[in-house]
């Protein structure tokens, strides 16, 4: 019988109801404070994470689901969300518009690490980001 991969779990009721309640509550709070939802791809160029978290980091060195696609591109499943949000922010030229941009996101992240209690290879992250921090970091 085929089973889910090690460290990747199904979410079924009643656990899903708790998960959905958390996401709905986090979304309502984010919207109340002027944050806007951003969704980035699950699959990104590996170079994005090498530049953002560093080639010598554990995430890049040991924990990414990385492969070469049929087109010869070096890609990986996103191990964290910040790099993709910053890429989208710059790609969409939001840094040129000025002002403060507030984003929130939630979604699946993937890290190839040894599964242990409370740490899975596929997990959901829910985060708020303010572009003023991104712009400050970009100018350094």
Helix or strand holding residue 135 (H, E): helix 131-139
What's the pTM value of the predicted model, to 2 decimals? Answer: 0.80
The answer to whether the Cα torsion of 67, 71, 73, 75 is positive or negative is negative
pLDDT for residue 75 is more than 90: yes
Helix axes 82-91 and 46-53, enclosed angle (nearest 10): 110
> What would the CATH number be for the domain defined by 34-139?
3.30.930.10
Could you tell me how far CA 2 lies from the centroid of its own chain? 28
Residues 118-131: tens digit of each pLDDT: 778 888 888 877 76
Q: Looking at residue 123, what is its pLDDT?
A: 86
Q: Does residue 89 have a pLDDT over 50?
A: yes
- Cα distance between residue 72 and residue 32, in whole Å: 43
Q: Tokens in use for 30?
A: 């984010």
13 pLDDT above the threshold of 70: yes
- SS3 state at 3: coil
Q: What is the pLDDT of residues 43-65, one digit of tens each?
A: 999 999 887 666 666 566 568 89
User: What is the reported pLDDT for 126?
Assistant: 82
Cross-strand partners of 90: none
Q: Provide the pLDDT for residue 82.
A: 87
Q: What band does 140 get if pLDDT is binned at 50, 70 and 90?
A: very low
Looking up tokens 């939001």 gives 94
Residue 30 three-state SS: helix
Confidence at residue 47, expressed as pLDDT on a 0 to 100 scale: 92
Kindly state the average pLDDT of the residues 7-28: 91
Residue 32 scores a pLDDT above 50: yes
């Amino acid at each position: 019988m085929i089973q889910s991969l090690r460290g990747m779990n199904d979410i079924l009721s009643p656990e899903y109801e708790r998960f959905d309640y958390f996401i709905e509550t986090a979304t309502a709070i984010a919207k109340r404070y002027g944050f806007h939802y951003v969704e980035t791809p699950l699959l990104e160029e590996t170079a994005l994470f090498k530049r953002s978290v560093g080639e010598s980091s554990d995430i890049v060195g040991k924990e990414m689901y990385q492969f070469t696609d049929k087109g010869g591109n070096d890609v990986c499943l996103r191990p964290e969300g910040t790099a993709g949000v910053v890429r989208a922010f710059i790609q969409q030229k939001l840094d040129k518009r000025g002002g403060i941009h507030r984003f929130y996101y939630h979604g699946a992240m993937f890290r190839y690490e040894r599964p242990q209690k409370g740490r899975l290879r596929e997990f959901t992250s829910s985060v708020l980001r303010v572009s003023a921090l991104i712009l400050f970091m970009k100018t350094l």
